[in-house]
Amino acid sequence: MPQAAKEFFAFTAAQLEDRRRNPRDDYLTQLASGALGDRPLTDGEVGGILMSFFIGGHHSTTAAISALLHHIITESGVREALANDPGVLPKVIEESLRLSTPLAHFARTVLQDTEIEGCPVPAGSRILLNYVSANRDERRFADPDRFDLGRRPNPHVAFGFGGHLCIGRHLARAEMTTVATQLLTRLPDIETDGEVRFSGLIGGNLHRILEFPVRFTPENPNARQNRTADGK
């Protein structure tokens, strides 16, 4: 195990021990007394859960943020819509997640013999849930390749669905909201300055932008100071 991971698990174990001695109203206290069936979770298992937050929440969110900025800057009408009504941002975020789904697919093991659209799927099969394809399914989304701010509802599955629905989706949406709001406030004239380069699939799963040249007028430092002083 890499040294950093060892240190992380040791840190987690110390935190859990502290929560058992001094319980308080927080998530770690809940995890410290968590159970799997009729046995308590081990410190290693809790460390694994917390580690999955880092892994699940890192590349996915950075990919989603860069795709969002790309859509805001390049999709016709989106900047204007946001300038007229910042309340449109959640729709922009959902449509960006649908069209530029950061995590392409996850696998499942089939537990019992079944059939999907006439195709027999025996128990024990491995199947791939292709979220990119689902998010462009023309049976669910009219004109699926179009960035459409009027899409309602927008039942995309960029965060998965069912029992494994992304636990970090609210945080991810909050981060996307903050970055987009700051960008549009601080660099209002940002525009493209060259070709965007996409990654294709990294590690068989992640889609992201590798390069997106832009130009903008740097923010006046006094404006930033004033904003900081205002606490905004």
User: Mapping DSSP to helix (H, G, I), strand (E, B) and coil, where does residue 90 land?
Assistant: helix
160 binds ligand HEM (CB under 6 A): yes
8 A C-beta contact, residue 151 and residue 91? yes
Instruction: Give helix then strand counts, H and E, for the chain.
Output: 9, 10
With CB under 6 A as the contact rule, the residue among 18, 34, 51, 56 that binds ligand HEM is 56
Cα distances (Å, whole numbers) of residue 203 to 18, 55, 132, 136, 215:
38, 13, 15, 22, 31
Q: Which is nearer to ligand HEM, 60 or 154 (CB)?
A: 60
5: left (phi over 0), alpha (psi -120 to 50) or beta: alpha
Binding residue (CB under 6 A) for ligand HEM from 68, 69, 134, 158: 158
Question: Does 69 interact with ligand HEM (rule: CB under 6 A)?
Answer: no
**Residue among 144, 130, 134 nearest 201 (CA):** 130
Asked if residue 128 binds ligand HEM (CB under 6 A), the reply is no
- Which residues between 130 and 149 bind ligand HEM (CB under 6 A)? 131
Q: What is the pattern of x (binds ligand HEM, CB under 6 A) and - over residues 2-41?
A: ----------------------------------------
Residues of this chain that bind ligand HEM (CB under 6 A): 52-53, 56-57, 60-61, 64, 102-103, 106, 131, 158-160, 164, 166-168, 171-172
